Structure 1
Amino acid sequence: MAMERRATAALSVFAAVAGMLLHAAVAADAQNLVFGYYNQTCRAAESIVFDEVQKAWNADRSMPASLLRLHFHDCFVNGCDGSVLLEASDGQAEKNASPNLSLRGFEVVDRIKARLEATCRQTVSCADILAYAARDSVRVMTGGYEYAVPGGRPDGTVSRASMTGDLPPPRQRNVDLLAQYFARKGLSMDDMVVLSGAHTLGVAKCGTFAYRLTSDGDKCMSAAFRNDLRRQCNYKSDAVVALDAGSPYGFDTSYYGNVLANCTVLESDAALNSPKTLQLVTQLRDSKALFINRFATAMVRMGNLRGGNPGKVRDNCRRVRT
């Protein structure tokens, strides 16, 4: 117990220091994003988002992973502009693209937006809701770790399925090629390793990785783990398995242990067991405080990616205001 208290205290200090570092680092290059952006115009904005995320987590322990994924998929396509939430009359919006068909959490965003519109009409952007909800997903999963997220992202006006080619593919084992997707967004290979840690949460459909189970030739997957996946999937493409079998609902470092043990579901995760990323993967595996600090920094950096088609704050996150 004493050791746990010391670890908790150390993590709290780490969090406080991280918050100060984040504020100093991000304020200089956030490109008009501002901490406490809604302090004057909608003081309850961030608390409303957190309240709804907490309710969603209480109802469904897998929802934080989905909200994190929504923010990631939004930012990697034309910047963090909320365009992943839009719907198109021809059914060809971003959310209709193959990589996005398994996205969840839209109803949670709708509930947050409805409360914000009732409190501060046409003030809080859908893009900012996604950024705050992603941060609060980490907060509920860690029991209180909170990091500062700047606001002021304008909502986008364009959302097309054809624009999703910038999303990193799960079927990519070459770490250099995978890192290129992040480099095009101004993110480093280290950012890629840290952001991939979000896969300590969430699930994958067996059909996504079934090709890795058809033979014993995949040297990037341990034989015992492959056999376990075969048992769980049982030839059902719609069956789901945890991305982190060790702790599917814990925001911890077991994901990195899985990487080093060749026990990852997706090839893009297996790619991190590479000489170029091995040192950081090992460091993150061995320190939860380091992982959470680095994850917060990388999330804020990713959240600064700007959209190219800014519009008005939407009163409904599923449609463009006219």
Structure 2
Amino acid sequence: MDRFAWQVCAKSARDWEAALEALEPVRAPAFQQGAVYGAIAEAAGRRVARLELRSSGRQIGLVQMIGQAGLWPISRGPVFAPDLTAVQQRAALRALAQRVGVVLATPELPVAGAGLIPLVTSRHQAIWDLSLGPEALRAGLAGKWRNRLSAAERAGLVLCPETDLAGVLEQDRAQQRARGYRALPPGFTRNWSRIAPQDLMALRVETPAGQRIAAGIFLIHGTGASYHIGWSADAGRAGSAHNLMLWQAALQLRARGVRQLDLGAVDGEEGAGRMRFKLGTGARAERLGQTCWVLPG
């Protein structure tokens, strides 16, 4: 069995992001493992720990953990080198628990076996590969999704930058109350905008008459991005404004070097309509690891 030893990583925020990209050049790590997420947690007074795992002089693992009441939760991490087997990843997780204490991990990819006690079943995320060209991306849209996009384009809907971030956050809170779900608090988005304004893209969709009918916020983290907030008025839903916004956002993100767009959860509680909307882009439903209590080993 491989023996793994985690060490504290003192990289700067920029070097941390570069190390993540070098370690996993194909699958963009989730924003929960990124430097901005850690900076937001630190600003809120939380403990943030970053560690690296090396073998034979090669970096094979990175993890960012946000301490909470004596626990070390890991969200969508650690980030491992692609050639590490599931058995090696499990051993590395147990070595991490041996190093830091109580670890509750939700790995990016499924990992199971001895020493990992399941607590919450795994969920699925819609991951849209933006590495293809625009024509191939459009061809990959589901037929009905593409038809709605074309209808929004023919209607003359206009996409433009959103400058009223506070307004979008308030509308999103109202939307959450109406639909009965919860997401990250508005302060998270405000802090992201303050710490890394260049890595937040806010967009709005207007009618030809200038009426605002939809808005969205995207978080950019390395070569990945996440669809963070989406709001739509009744007229926006009727006019397929979100199809236009998401399509144009994907093209803009791709032009910035983003290879992968995380559209969020696509499990039962997400709602069939929203699930079809996300997967209609051609995104694939990827299973995350289950949340587990990691025993030292």
Q: Same fold (TM over 0.5)?
A: no
Higher strand share: 2
Higher helix share: 1
TM-score, normalising length: structure 1: 0.28
TM-score, normalising length: structure 2: 0.30
